[in-house]
Amino acid sequence: MITPADEFLTHQTPYTFDTVFTTDRNFYDRYFFNGYRRDGEVYFALGMGLYPNRGVFDCAFSVSRNGKQPFVRASRDLGSDRLATAAGPIRIEVIEPLKKGRLIVTKNDAGILADLTWEARSLPNEEPHFQRRAAGMGAMDYSRMTQHVTWSGTLTVGGETFDLSKDTWWGSRDHSWGIRGVGERNIGGKPVTAPPQFFWNWAPLNFDDLCTLYTVSEYPDGTRWHQSGVILTPYPNATETEAKVDHHLRFTKGTRHISAATIDLCPPKSEPLSIELKPLYNFLMQGIGYGHPTWGHGMWVGPDEVDCGEYDLAKEDPMTHLHVQTVSLATAGTHRGVGVFEHIILGPHEKYGFEGATDPAQ
């Protein structure tokens, strides 16, 4: 079917834009955005994705402040127009690719309103390609671009309106696409008998005159199947320097959430940069669909549905929320900054003493 996207000279297959190169039901194309005030006390995030071989488009927006995390989630029939990046009250607009865009949340039962504009603070970084096999079978095959941004506009939550234009709000965004587990679990084929294991760190951080990006994925013995480190200087004199990475994590007793962390970035021709993180609170990624049993990414909930609610962070069991973004203050020498340390630690990991699927830190 011919769609508006077919007007552009950007085809990557012999087919129209409503058809992707594979019939794999796990193919996806997804945006992620986050933003935070300089003191870290207010944080928001958005996830938005489409799943061509599942016929689903979904998105969610959530804000964390004062120990509460309200959210609004929306899902619809995908249809054929790949340029329609909206569902329910949530909409994304690209104003200038890789430079500027808009995020809008209109009236909803969660009481969240947003009219926000992001502008690029750093060069977009293409992370190394993600490819992973589990139990001898393909599990991930995707690309991702990450970029640091600034925010302006207005955000209303809990009856309070924040004017982002009058303060400095930073954040990051990513765009990933390819194959990874989405939607309902596949049934059939060879049974997987190995216990689940997934060690994942991702930390985009903003400083006054610096941006950094760190990511690591490891097997139980610490062998890395994916890693990346980048030190960036902001616009107008934007640069990008790759770096080797390492991590030293401390955990809150009874959880798998960090209580402190040190990230080491070692560029080949300059001094290492050691970053100390001081966690403030955890943003629950289920609020924007990650791992949610009903509103998980790519899951069919209806042709045009909206869901609103709120987490009371003090009442949530941390062991049912392994996937979090820990909003943190950051120190790197004389640099002071803020950002997130996203992590999932499922299954054994020798370095940090985890032996079972979900045994907590002692």
Q: What is the pLDDT of residues 239-282, one digit of tens each?
A: 999 999 999 999 999 999 999 999 999 999 889 999 999 999 99
**344: pLDDT strictly greater than 90:** yes
* H helix or E strand, kind and range, residue 259: strand 258-266
Q: Note the pLDDT tens digit of each residue in 223-242.
A: 999 999 999 999 999 999 99
> Does residue 7 lie in a domain region?
no
Domain count within the chain: 1
Query: How confident is the model at residue 187, as a pLDDT?
Result: 64
Mean of the pLDDT values across residues 148-164?
97
What value does the mean pLDDT of the chain take?
94
Question: Does some domain include residue 17?
Answer: no
CA-closest candidate to residue 210, choices 332, 46, 62: 332
> What does the pLDDT look like over 284-307, one tens digit per residue?
999 999 999 999 999 999 999 999
Residue 356 has pLDDT above 70, yes or no: yes
Look at residue 341 and tell me whether its pLDDT is greater than 80: yes
Identify the pLDDT of residue 10: 87
**Percent of the chain scored above 70 by pLDDT?**
97
User: Average pLDDT for residues 31-59, to the nearest whole number?
Assistant: 97
Residue 189 lies in a domain: no
Residue-level pLDDT at 280? 98
Judge whether 142 lies within some domain. yes
pLDDT at 191 > cutoff 80:
no
Strand, coil or helix: 217:
strand
Nearest to residue 120, comparing CAs of 76, 173, 68?
Answer: 173
Q: Containing domain of residue 136, as a range?
A: 26-184+195-352
Quote the CA–CA distance of 17 and 10 in Å, as a whole number. 9
Answer whether 350's CB lies under 8 Å from 220's CB. Answer: yes
CA distances (Å), 36 to each of 17, 149, 151, 283, 314, in order? Answer: 35, 11, 9, 12, 20
Predicted TM-score (pTM) of this structure:
0.96
Cα Rg for the chain, rounded, in angstroms?
A: 20
Count of CA atoms in the C-beta half-sphere (13 A) of 227: 16
What's the rounded mean pLDDT across residues 34-56? 96
39 within domain boundaries: yes
**2 is a domain residue:** no
Convert 190-207 into a string of H (helix), E (strand) and C (coil). Answer: CCCCCCCCEEEEEEEEEE
How many residues are listed for the chain in this entry? 362
The reported pLDDT for the residue numbered 7 is 86
DSSP calls for 70-123: EEEEEEEE--S-TT--EETTEEEEEEETTTEEEEEE---TT--EEEEEEEE-S-
What does the alpha-carbon distance between residue 200 and residue 211 come to, in Å, rounded to a whole number?
A: 20
In a domain, 322, yes or no: yes
Residue 307 forms part of a structural domain: yes
For 136, the token pair is 């001898």
CATH code (residue 286): 2.40.370.10
Reply yes or no on whether the pLDDT at 135 is more than 80.
no
pLDDT bucket at 188, cuts 50 / 70 / 90? low
Token pair listed for 306: 């909206």
Beta-strand relationship, 244-251 and 27-37: unpaired
**For residues 9 and 161, what is the distance between their CA atoms, to the nearest angstrom?**
42
8-30 pLDDT, tens digit per residue, is 888 999 999 889 999 999 999 99
Mean pLDDT of 110-129: 97
